[in-house]
Structure 1
Amino acid sequence: MKSLLALAITVGLAAASAGVSAEPPRYVGENEVPRPIDVAKALGGAKFQPQMKKRGISFDPAGDAPAPVGLVDGPSGTASAPEAAAPRAVAAATPKAAPKAAPATAVVEEEPAQEGGSMDVAVAFALNSADLQPKALAQLDSIAEGLKLLDGGTVVVIDGHTDSTGPEPYNAALSLRRAQTVKQYLVNQHGIPAERLRARGQGESHPLDQSNPEDARNRRVQFSTG
């Protein structure tokens, strides 16, 4: 019994450890390509992060030990006269019930989907342009595969961001064009439904590095849900 119980716990813990991976990156550099599963985890919340669930251990006392001989279901709860007078040899000959195996004590279950998240990607565009550079295509191809892992009703917001160099109205317009370019690529090249994607231009209003508005990290595309 104890060996079966220990085995069940070990298997459950091993499965849980295999299902939980490191926190997905929240910022992807210009020369990096995110894994589709990391995109899904970052945007899908706890749905893609299985949690360990522990269930109470239950034992069946009647199954772990043989029922006493001579007990009957009656109002008095005492043994009937013939059974009480039965010789001890009869009790010894009564077959014992086999012990029941204990149920598994630990299983891996997924939590219900929680509030979504976001991922910032330094999508490579041509200078002062919304034209995608070749290395940006690999990023968007992987992101598209990650979006396909999300629930079909999930709406993804695509926000274009710039640094603070240049006039603010120009940056706002450029960031919107870049977000729209990303949306069209995902729709045209990967068949992501257009109604699941919203493109917005944030310009220089939300720098990733607020201490340095001109930092190159501020030029990015943010994908978010929830």
Structure 2
Amino acid sequence: MLLAMLMLQLAAPEGVTMVFFDWGKTEISRDSEATLEKVVQDYRANRAPLLLTGHSDRSGPSGANLQSSRQRAQIVADYLASKGVPRSAMTIEGRGEEAPIIATEDGVREVQNRRVEIRRR
């Protein structure tokens, strides 16, 4: 519930869909499933390739955060592929902690920074 409230605080830039993750987790939440179902529907209607960019907060070492951001983007790609979006239509990248939505000090957990952004390319 808290995660859903926090997600409502943040308006995604136009053309960007965001999926958020709890700290230390890579599971897709029920709220995120509903969001990803909309991405699947949009893909089916438009067939536009997708860019999935993973991000992390600054709560761990930068190398681990980069790996985590890539892993989360891959998990979103796996979900979309399971719903029929071709892997060839998705580009996956991880940016770690280099592009936060909320600027924080090193070591701070921030849910809005632990996200995967999905854009049509």
Give 2:26's match in structure 1, choosing from 130, 133, 137: 130
Which 5+ residue runs of structure 2 have no aligned equivalent?
8-13
1:166 CA drift (Å): 0.8
Rg (Cα) greater in structure = 1
TM-score by length of 2: 0.76
Pair 1:145 & 2:41 matched = yes
Number of paired residues?
110
Pair 1:222 & 2:120 matched = no
Structure 1 residue aligned with 2:55: 161
When the two chains are superposed, the root-mean-square deviation of aligned CA atoms in Å is 2.4
Residues 167-219 of structure 1: CA deviation (Å, up to 9, x unaligned): 1111111111110000010111x20111111111111011123x436443212
Q: Give the whole-Å Cα distance in 1 for the aligned partners of 2:17 and 2:80.
A: 16
Q: Does the CA contact (< 8 Å) of 1:120 and 1:220 recur in 2?
A: no
Q: Give the whole-Å Cα distance in 2 for the aligned partners of 1:120 and 1:137.
A: 12
More helix by share: 2
Between 1 and 2, higher relative CO (CA 8 Å, sep ≥ 6) is seen in 2
Q: Give the whole-Å Cα distance in 2 for the aligned partners of 1:120 and 1:220.
A: 10
Amino acid at match of 1:175: S
Q: Give the whole-Å Cα distance in 2 for the aligned partners of 1:131 and 1:216.
A: 14
Structure 2 residue aligned with 1:108: none
Structure 2 residue aligned with 1:193: 86
Residue aligned with 1:159, SS: strand
Matched-pair identity in %: 24
Q: Does the C-alpha gap of structure 1 residues 176 and 191 become closer, same or farther in structure 2, counting only changes over 3 Å? A: same
